Structure 1
Amino acid sequence: MSQKIITILGQTIEPGKSYEVDFDVAKLHTASSINVPIIIERSKKPGPTVLFTAGIHGDEVNGVEIVRQLIAKGINKPKCGTTICIPVINIFGFINLSREFPDGRDLNRVFPGLKNGSLASRVAYKLVNDVMKEADYVLDFHTGGAGRFNAPQVRIAQGSTRLNELARIFGAPFVLYSKNLKKSFRITAYKAGITMLLFEGGKSHHIDVNITNTGVNGAKRVMHSLGMLGSKFKVSKPKKESVFITASKWQRANFSGMFKASVEVGTKVKKDDILGNITDPYGKFNHFVRATSTGYIINANESPIVYQGDALFHITSRVKPHS
């Protein structure tokens, strides 16, 4: 089996070599150049190509930390095949720790992009046509936003045996079936015939050790299953089998006020269990938030102030039995 030719941003990637290629899209308004390094490792032995990405949203630093660790620990150096690591895609947002691009657009809603479109659209176009085209698999790392903490979870669309298998191998505590959103990175990969796992965990502006470890260990398991993981790395089994979620719903605040959750993300709760409380600043009001249904808490609002109607908890309503 011969090695196929791989080209990233015009650079031919030869077997058995390491590369750092600059993802150069645009300069800052100060005329300063911004080069986003893409770290590529290619084995002499043929095998699949896996693309690790993070920072599509600039404030999701925990995903960046996961890919950083894959590089720093040498996990990205494959026994066979090729790995491509992009720790920060939205470098403009990352500089300011903001979710969007300077043009106000969400990068994950403009794929596959346009060559001469908006700034975000140009980045999407270049990523798809000059990088992602070479990948067989993509692992894309995200976090919760707007002060909401996500339990570590893999998100996939229903109906794919291969995605189910890979999600189980990754070993996150939860696997959430969710549709491929229009103009997202995930649906673009799907249309290109590329297998993608989207990992969500933690919250924006925050690095959590448990979330990081879950992401790194999941990446190692996937690489191991593909025969790519270096022999010096150990693969741990997940503590529990992944819970596959087929339906879930948000529980919202009935009152405005100061909010404090009293249950941990990932906990299974029963209907009417106390999940937290909403108070006023003057000590006159204290409302206990009770679970409206039985299920796992897969996301919790960690904002100290909430308004009536705000999402407080994301609770599973239906899970798939273990096979």
Structure 2
Amino acid sequence: MRKAFEIGGAAIQPGSRRTVDIPVSVLSDHTPVTMSAHVIHGRRSGPIVFITAGIHGDEVIGAEIVRRLLAIRTLDSLKGTLITIPIVNAFGFLNQSRYLPDRRDLNRCFPGSARGSLAARLAHLLMHEVVERCDLGIDLHSAAIHRTNLPQVRVAAGDRESIRLAKVFGAPVVLQSSERDGSLRAAAQASGVRVLLYEAGEGLRFDELAVRAGVAGILRVLHDLGMITSRGVPKARGRSMLLKTSRWVRAPGGGLLRVYRDTGDVVSAGEVLAVVSDPFGEREREVIASADGIVVGRAVMPIVNEGDALFHIAQTPSNEVAENTVQTIRSDLEGDPIFDEDEII
């Protein structure tokens, strides 16, 4: 018999699951704030994995991914331990804001400090109570407000195991990106814990395809780690594209944006992606693709200023392969019967 898993002063017995409220702080009006974690502690030993969402309070899609994940019955026979935190930054979530009350970005404050700012203390709490005890993490994000992202997993270049797991996840794109100082991914890596960073959808919005891709990807990774059986795990017919370089195409001037291309579209260098015009239509400026590639993110706000980031394009080895990959993965997600169950949708 395994030992109980202790977190936040609570003990979760083997073969059980429980939501634990870990105290974070008290607001100025004496309202307590907690970081709530749902822990599934299997009867049999196995890896310890964490799933976090809502580090940025306005990126709400991760909470829906966690909600649907926890409704899937195959987790009842889990090996090892799964820790899910659908809302890390409760302050930002309640205020529909990326930041904490002190205007700090939590994902620039790791590993944090027990005696630092509010953001530093929350970062330290997450690292100490959760991250440092795990073998792997999956951190769920969306694009910032007024932008949207194609489902993608970001990993550090040269980390073969992270790249392998990202491909197992099965999002259309695996994008190599450097770890930012102060991010959860960088702090976890320094502690010897790999983290897959999932980016999909738009801030303050749910996107059905992005949610499905997130749920399916997590299930595939848990199965690859031997934590769950293959029952109910969506099979991926398409293979993720490993892309190494990307760049933003920016607004040539301020005005009103008319978009011709969307996330997942494959574009060619010199192609017109959008037009920016003044409110009278007297002057129009074309937004031109600077290279061949796939649109992995774009602005959704029609009002832009000169220099605003409009289209995030990742270069692909073959536009034909890119188009086939996105179409195949979308078909898988739209047609998989696991997402038709009433308790999930």
Does the pair score TM above 0.5? Answer: yes
Q: Equivalent of 1:256, from 254, 257, 267?
A: 254
Distance 1:161 1:59 in 2: 32
2:25 is matched with which residue? 26
Distance 1:276 1:92 in 2: 36
2:193 is matched with which residue? 194
Distance 1:92 1:272 in 2: 44
Partner amino acid for 2:71?
A
Deviates more, 1:51-60 or 1:246-255: 246-255
Partner amino acid for 2:59?
E
Query: How high is the sequence identity, in percent, across the aligned residues?
Result: 38
Deviations along 1:2-41, one digit per CA (max 9) or x if unpaired, are 7466431233333212122112111222211223321001
Q: Equivalent of 1:306, from 304, 307, 322?
A: 304
Partner amino acid for 2:30?
A
Unaligned runs of 5+ in 2: 323-345
Change (3 A) 1:89 1:121: same
Deviations along 1:43-86, one digit per CA (max 9) or x if unpaired, are 11111111011000000011121112112334644531111110
2:341 is matched with which residue? none
Q: How does 1:44-123 map to 2 (within 5 A)?
A: 44-74=43-73, 76-123=75-122
Partner-residue secondary structure (3-state), 2:25: coil
Distance 1:56 1:77 in 2: 27
User: Does the CA contact (< 8 Å) of 1:58 and 1:95 recur in 2?
Assistant: yes
Deviations along 1:63-110, one digit per CA (max 9) or x if unpaired, are 121112112334644531111110000000000110000011111111
User: Does the CA contact (< 8 Å) of 1:58 and 1:92 recur in 2?
Assistant: yes
Distance 1:10 1:217 in 2: 32
Shift of 1:288: 2.7
Distance 1:78 1:49 in 2: 14
Q: Equivalent of 1:245, from 240, 243, 266?
A: 243
1:35 is matched with which residue? 34
Structure number having the greater helix percentage:
2
2:294 is matched with which residue? 296
Distance 1:147 1:102 in 2: 21
Deviates more, 1:130-139 or 1:4-13: 4-13
Distance 2:245 2:261 in 1: 21
1:128 is matched with which residue? 127
Distance 2:174 2:68 in 1: 23
Shift of 1:203: 1.4
Shift of 1:232: 4.5
User: Does the CA contact (< 8 Å) of 2:3 and 2:13 recur in 1?
Assistant: no
Change (3 A) 1:3 1:192: farther
TM-score by length of structure 1 reads 0.94
1:160 aligns with 2:159: yes
Unaligned runs of 5+ in 1: none
Shift of 1:316: 1.7
User: Does the CA contact (< 8 Å) of 1:255 and 1:278 recur in 2?
Assistant: yes
Distance 2:16 2:4 in 1: 13
Partner-residue secondary structure (3-state), 2:61: helix
Partner-residue secondary structure (3-state), 1:202: strand
Distance 1:22 1:120 in 2: 18
User: Does the CA contact (< 8 Å) of 1:297 and 1:316 recur in 2?
Assistant: yes
2:285 is matched with which residue? 287
TM-score by length of structure 2 reads 0.88
Deviations along 1:137-186, one digit per CA (max 9) or x if unpaired, are 10110011131111111000011221111011000101111111111100
Q: How does 1:176-215 map to 2 (within 5 A)?
A: 176-215=175-214
Distance 1:18 1:49 in 2: 14
How many residue pairs get aligned? The number is: 320
Partner amino acid for 1:185?
L
Partner amino acid for 2:213?
T
Shift of 1:231: 5.7
Distance 1:71 1:7 in 2: 20
Partner-residue secondary structure (3-state), 1:254: coil
Partner-residue secondary structure (3-state), 2:196: strand
User: Does the CA contact (< 8 Å) of 2:295 and 2:314 recur in 1?
Assistant: yes
User: Does the CA contact (< 8 Å) of 2:65 and 2:211 recur in 1?
Assistant: yes
